[in-house]
Amino acid sequence: MSAIESVLKESRVFQPSDDFVNNANISSDAYNALCNKANEDYEGFWADAAMENLTWKKPFTQVLDESNAPFYKWFADGELNASYNCIDRHLIDKANKTAIIYEKDDGDSEHITYQQLHDRVCQFANGLKSLGVRKGDRVVIYMPMTAEAVIAMQACARIGAIHSVVFGGFSSGAVRDRIKDAEAKIIITANESVRGGKFTPLKSTVDEALSHGDCDSVEKVIVLKRTDSDTPWNESHDIWWHDVIQGQASQCEPEWMNAEDPLFILYTSGSTGKPKGVQHSTGGYLLGGILSMRWVFDYKSSDVFWCTADVGWITGHTFICYAPLAVGATQIVFEGVPTYPDASRFWQMIEKHKVTTFYTAPTAIRSLIKLGPDLPGKFDLSSLRLLGSVGEPINPEAWMWYYETVGQGRCPIVDTWWQTETGAHMIAPIPGAFPIKPGSCTLPLPGIMADIVDESGASVEQGKGGSLVIKRPFPSLLRTIWRDDARFASTYFPDELGGKMYLAGDSAYRDEQGYIWIMGRIDDVLNVSGHRLGTMEIESALVANPLVAEAAVVGKPHDVKGEAVVAFVVLKGNRPEGDEAQKVAAELKSWVAHEIGKIAQPDDIRFGENLPKTRSGKIMRRLLRTLAKGETVTQDISTLENPHVMEQLSESV
Ligand code: PRX
């Protein structure tokens, strides 16, 4: 941390237009009032927000319970249901409003009203119940980006089952690990996914995950028939989605949950080889998402909201499955990819569906700039009023293009900093309340006590880099790591910082106006195309290959992906050269794709007879990062056990 230095470089400031300010949900006065209220009466602030924004079956009397820190509880004696809050409470006045515009890969689209969504969720929920799924059971969802994925998640929430969505791009090994850790009773999948005109089998990946015989908890595999191709079938536990809902009633009384009951588990990467099951609560999580919609996305009932994430990530959980529905929005669920049938798909869809609020990742923006910088200009994007960015820092060039070419200089950009663990936006603009700066996620939201600290937990001065923390517990924070309380406490509330500050894992600094600039992770986590990957996860996958003796993985800057994976590998046999090296590198790349998923595949593999180590045997990762970037090594290598490997490892295969 001490090595982090100030990197101030961007000074442009963009004011929202008068029109935006005049119509904004939160004016600058309202914003100040919210911040003051949170500072003066923290619990009262959150209690008011929870009463105003959620519909409770049994209102809470307790607000924050800190008696067992860092296992904080919020609204603990209140009862509610997330699906009721997302669907039923809108039926009085919005039954015929479109909840979901489901646009398929081939461009066909289907409008699903709140009433229809209610009926489909209830039927599927009843189907799950008929298969014996009960409150607290875990359900793994491994599905393509379909309306049914949202229906499956909502149906779990309705009956109190805990869903664990696994991104459809993960391989059978990753699916198996997650099924085992969560001890899932049911898997919900589709025979195939359809993306960019390509059909990819999902059901057979589930079969492969189950084929090792160590997933005893699984009783049924529910399969959505997304395409007409043949599907491998196991009579003993496979069942079609359409058979699950057959004859089921379109009414299903929600299971009234305690506010602290887990809503879902979502696995994410950390600094060890094993992904963490981030466990979210029902009440606090939902509240966080709703506030993000109202404050940051300035949500209006006339909006057409589009978050382009996949439901396999937290962004898709909060900004597709839960928060837009919880506020009664019309939103898009998009099955396809931004480049099919061509690189204008996003712009064409914004025109077609009159999207007002568009939320995507910098990596998508950068790739679309490359593929067609002028394409947005060919479409009518006048419906847009607000743009959002998430997942990684947005570079000023991409920001300016997004602002001028997509937003036509009219739409504020909300650069939202948050994490799987925080469940909802933490540091982000409130677009009608204060100006924005390209590359900064601006200021913490009201009630979020973010700070930047040194190793001892003391605040650092303005302009100096440090570790990003949140000093008070807040409702949407993860409650624990699934069945690993000790790891939760030591990872997020380390003793060095006093055990009560949430350690985000990012470094950041603050500028003269207090605006926060995220600099990157402080742990061994990479951010590849906005996807979070642990270097140790990839290293474990590599060393599981029979050819590999040792591996070290680092990131290197990449102009589209943000970061790319570089693997330094020592084989059990001789160091390969020429064609042999090419062959082994290709084999290892597909090995990683098979073990984890394509997203974790190294871009660059380098072979050495050994890795650079200190005399005590520690791998010198800083040195590897320098080599990965192709920079000249200026570090002191005199303590290296084996300096001659440096030359070998600077050569990409
Ligand atoms: O490093 C930060 C980066 O993404 C990490 C969280 O990843 P994940 O849990 O997968 O959630 C991504 C979507 C919320 C953070 O620790 N990150 C996320 N948003 C931003 C960001 N870095 C800079 N700017 C952001 N807006």
User: Is the confidence at residue 202, as pLDDT, over 70?
Assistant: yes
The Cα–Cα gap between 231 and 110 comes to 25
| pLDDT cut 90: percent of the chain above it | 92
Shortest-distance Cα residue to atom 13 of ligand 1? 391
With helix as H, strand as E and coil as C, how does 22-74 read? HHCCCCHHHHHHHHHHHHHCHHHHHHHHHHHHCCCCECCCCCEECCCCCCCEE
Nearest-atom number in ligand 1 for the CA of 394 is 24
- Count the alpha carbons within 13 Å of 287 in the hemisphere toward its beta carbon: 27
What pLDDT sits at residue 10?
65
Ligand 1 atom at shortest distance from the alpha carbon of 428: 26
With a cut of 90, say whether residue 9 has pLDDT above it: no
Q: How confident is the model over 149-187, as pLDDT tens digits?
A: 999 999 999 999 999 999 999 999 999 999 999 999 999
- Span from the CA of 195 to the centroid of ligand 1 (angstroms): 25
For ligand 1, residues with CB inside 6 Å are: 268, 314-315, 390-393, 415-420, 441, 504-506, 518, 521, 527, 532
Binding-site residue ranges for CoA = 195-198, 315, 529
Asked if residues 406 and 381 have their Cβ atoms less than 8 Å apart, the reply is yes
Mean pLDDT on 95-107: 98
SS3 159: helix
Instruction: Find, among 146, 200, 188, 187, the residue nearest to 310 by Cα.
Output: 146
505 CA: nearest ligand 1 atom? 16
pLDDT at position 185 is 98
Per-residue model confidence (pLDDT) at position 8: 46
Tell me the average pLDDT across 4-8: 40
Give pLDDT, residue 446: 98
Residue nearest to atom 22 of ligand 1 (CA): 392
| pLDDT of 303 above 80 | yes
- In this model, does residue 3 exceed pLDDT 60? no
Q: Which atom of ligand 1 is nearest to the CA of 504?
A: 16
* Residue 1 pLDDT: 34
The predicted pLDDT at position 2 comes to 35
Band of residue 636 on the pLDDT scale cut at 50, 70, 90: confident
Rounded to the nearest angstrom, the distance between the alpha carbon of 372 and the centre of ligand 1 is 26
- Taking only the tens place, the pLDDT of each residue in 27-74 is 999 999 999 999 999 999 999 999 999 999 999 999 999 999 999 999
Q: Is the peptide bond before 341 cis (omega within 30 degrees of 0)?
A: yes
Binding residues for Mg(2+): 543, 548
- Average pLDDT of the chain? 95
Q: Are 157 and 87 in contact (CB under 8 A)?
A: no
Q: Whose CA is nearest to atom 4 of ligand 1?
A: 391
Measure the CA–CA gap between 565 and 554, rounded to whole angstroms. 6
Residues 566, 535: contact at Cβ < 8 Å? no
- The whole-number pLDDT of residue 642 equals 78
Q: What percent of the chain has pLDDT over 70?
A: 98
Site to probe by mutation for ligand 1, drawn from 418, 468, 476, 529 as the one with most ligand atoms within 8 Å of Cβ, is 418
Among 269, 420, 532, 537, the mutation site with the greatest number of ligand 1 atoms within 8 A of its Cβ is: 532
What integer pLDDT is reported at residue 7 of this predicted model? 42
Instruction: Please determine, for residue 84, whether its predicted confidence score (pLDDT) is greater than 90.
Output: yes
How do residues 372-403 score in pLDDT, each as one tens digit? 999 999 999 999 999 999 999 999 999 999 99
Which pLDDT score is estimated for 652? 87
Q: How confident is the model at residue 340 (pLDDT cuts 50, 70, 90)?
A: very high
The whole-number average pLDDT for the span 613-633 is 89
pLDDT tens-digit series, residues 540-595: 999 999 999 999 999 999 999 999 999 999 999 999 999 999 999 999 999 999 99
| Residue 273 pLDDT exceeds 80 | no
Distances (CA, A) of 105 to 75, 336, 355, 393, 403: 41, 4, 18, 29, 27
Nearest CA to ligand 1 atom 24: 393
Bond from prior residue into 59 cis (ω within 30 degrees of 0):
no
CA of 419 to the centre of ligand 1 (A): 5
Mind listing the pLDDT tens digit for each residue in 484-508? 999 999 999 999 999 999 999 999 9
Q: Is the confidence at residue 4, as pLDDT, over 50? A: no
Cα(110)–Cα(101) distance, integer angstroms = 6
Nearest-CA residue for ligand 1 atom 11 is 419
Q: Which residue has the higher pLDDT, 473 or 645?
A: 473
* Cα–Cα nearest to 348, from 330, 372, 320, 324: 372
Q: Which range, of 5-19, 79-93, 224-238, 468-482, averages the lowest pLDDT?
A: 5-19
